[in-house]
Amino acid sequence: MITHYFRTLKDKELKVCDEPRKGTWTHVVAPSEEEFETLVEQFDLDEAIAADASDFFEVPRFEQEEGVLYFFTRYPFDERDEDIDTAPLLIVVGGSFVLTIAQRDVPFLSAFIDGKKPIATTQKTKLFIQFMGALTTAFEAELTHMRRSVYRDRSRVRDIKGRDIQRLVSYEHQLNDAIAAMTPTNASLQHLTTGNHIEMFSDDLELTEDLMIANNQLMESARAVLKTIQNVRGASEAMLTQRLNNTIQMLTALTVVLTIPTIIASLYGMNVPLPLGERPYAFWLVLGVIAAVMALVVRYFSKRHWF
């Protein structure tokens, strides 16, 4: 689906246009082959580079061809069909337009489309920076949610359950995907500020540098949460192993204790002459011996904390 948006600084709201014009932001979601060919023709795109936007596993990077900037990045997305927690987004900045191409819905762009975050599509560099800032905010929201959950699990690590471990593993996967997406994205932003790839005024340069600082802080925070998850998992695994060992020790001790009366009762259950076989008090004597031996064995295992 292709949608063209337009707004100047003087306009009160974002407008939807039938056709692209100078200063337009064009947002494309899951384009068909015909729509993709139309985009290539209308905006004079490099077809080979733009086609990479259809690869769901495309890595963040940027390229520049004939004055057009192609900036590939990834944003947090709950993808159920693929074993990955981010989705690709291509931002194209041309001489008179900004184009975004995605294979899935882009949640963090809805605030711009709905007018909750005002934008001027005619200011293409600032619009690009706003998009990247919203991307950072989206990752930060995901990280905040995971951090709270992880710290809550850390405080009750002794009572952690199997489903909690599964959730931590899922968070670990999401954090790794986020770091894998943010690291090259931030490197690409660094290249944009040092080269003549896109027209930036001093304010734009300042905003981009602030954005890179925020991204670096976010990545460090993500690594800290990732380390906490690994510590919680390691502690919980150690505790579960200890509990398993204690259970095995207790069962082993019980087996030994219960084996004693079984052996003695088996011996005196044989149909052959046995000591004390003719004595009227033989039963109570054998029972006393069994009780005494069991008491000694229980005392032995108790001293070694097997019970």
- CATH numbers and ranges of domains, the chain: 1-121 (3.30.460.20), 241-303 (1.20.58)
Q: The tokens 């095995």 sit on which residue?
A: 248
Beta bridge partners of 99: 26, 92
Q: What is the pLDDT of residues 111-124, one digit of tens each?
A: 888 888 888 888 88
- What are the residues whose beta carbons fall under 8 Å from the beta carbon of 14, sequence distance 6 or more? 5, 6, 7, 112, 113, 115, 119, 121
d(CA 178, CA 84) in angstroms, rounded, equals 10
End-to-end CA separation in angstroms for the chain: 68
- What are the residues whose beta carbons fall under 8 Å from the beta carbon of 131, sequence distance 6 or more? 91, 100, 109, 112
- Measured over the CA atoms of residue 182, residue 183, residue 186 and residue 191, the dihedral's sign is negative
Reading the block at residue 223, the tokens are 């690594």
For residues 42 and 48, the answer to whether their CB atoms sit within 8 Å is: no
* Amino acid (one-letter) located at 45: L
Nearest to residue 121, comparing CAs of 7, 207, 2?
Answer: 7
d(CA 31, CA 215) in angstroms, rounded, equals 30
Reading the block at residue 210, the tokens are 């602030």
Q: How far is CA 233 from CA 155, 158, 171, 239, in A?
A: 13, 11, 12, 10
**What is the chain's pLDDT, residue by residue, as a tens digit (307 residues)?**
889 999 888 888 888 888 888 888 999 998 888 888 888 888 888 888 888 888 888 889 888 888 889 999 999 887 665 567 888 999 998 888 899 999 888 898 988 888 888 888 888 889 999 999 999 999 999 898 888 888 877 777 667 777 777 888 888 888 888 898 899 998 888 888 887 777 778 888 888 889 899 999 999 999 998 888 888 877 777 777 888 888 898 898 889 888 888 888 787 777 667 676 677 777 787 788 888 888 888 888 888 877 6
Backbone angles phi, psi at 167, to 5 degrees: -65, -40
Q: The tokens 């949460």 sit on which residue?
A: 225
- Which pairing describes strands 97-102 and 86-93: parallel, antiparallel, or unpaired? antiparallel
- Which pairing describes strands 97-102 and 68-76: parallel, antiparallel, or unpaired? unpaired
